[in-house]
Amino acid sequence: MKSKIRKLVTFVEETRTEMGKTVTPPTRRAAAAAVIENPFAGRYVEDLSELMEIGEELGALLAERAVAALGISGPSAESYGKAALVGENGELEHAAAILHPKLGTPVRKVLGKGAALIPSSKKRGAPGVALDIPLGHKDAAFVRSHFDGMEIRVNDAPRANEILVAVAVTDSGRPLPRVGGLTKEQIKGEDGLR
């Protein structure tokens, strides 16, 4: 592997009730995160292609882990998101190199489809900083019930020369969606939007 992984962390959340109302079936989401060495920490490097390849590797590894943590098949996943948190000696552009050019394709391969843009966020921060991974429906970005987010944090990462990279996958939308908009039953799934 190109990535030098110090640590892998998975998170699974299952919501059974909200405001006293039972959520049937419970909503479930998982995030898989890798803490990797930042090969470009502490200096300016023009060509970021090594990080793009690391992103490709991590896309497959993290999507597989997140789906496995939910105990579902890839195609049964409903929404997804990705995010990266760069340690203080790195650059925001390092997160962009991991997330945007090559990470998406292997994620979509694990999930079977994935016509929609994978929503993303990135920031630079200290160990233990919270990372909010945005979530959207994997085949139609406008499905309103699936606009969501998942907070994760790893108390000892990222160290200054590390990057925390995360992929989140769900088998559901928000617990009690009732603000209208496009529903998942209405998806055409052609353009990734509706």
Partner 1 sequence: MPEVELRKRVVIVEEIFHEGGPVAEKPLCRAAALTVIRNPFAGRYVREIAGFMEDLNPLGLEMAKLLVEALGGEAKAIEGYGKGAIVGQYGELEHGALWHVPGGYGMREILGNAKAIVPSTKKVGGPGTRLDVPVTHINASYVRSHFDSMEVGIADAPRGDEILLALVMTTGPRVHARVGGLKASEIKGEDGLR
Within 10 A of 19 (CB to CB), how many other CB atoms are there?
6
Which is nearer to partner 1, 66 or 118 (by Cβ)?
A: 66
Report whether the peptide linkage leading into residue 25 is cis, meaning its omega lies within 30 degrees of zero: yes
The least CB distance from residue 184 to partner 1, in Å, is 22
The least CB distance from residue 26 to partner 1, in Å, is 8
Which is nearer to partner 1, 35 or 51 (by Cβ)?
A: 35
Which is nearer to partner 1, 25 or 128 (by Cβ)?
A: 128
Which residues does residue 85 pair with via DSSP β-bridges, in sequence order? 123, 164
Q: Which residues sit at the interface with partner 1, rule CB under 8 A?
A: 5-18, 69, 128, 130, 151, 153-155
Q: In a 3-state reduction of DSSP, which class is residue 141?
A: coil
Euclidean distance between CA atoms 178 and 173, whole angstroms: 11
Which is nearer to partner 1, 33 or 143 (by Cβ)?
A: 33
Single-letter code of the amino acid located at 34: A
The least CB distance from residue 68 to partner 1, in Å, is 11
Q: What single-letter DSSP state applies at residue 184?
A: G
| SS3 of the chain: helix, strand, coil, percent, to 5 | 25, 35, 40
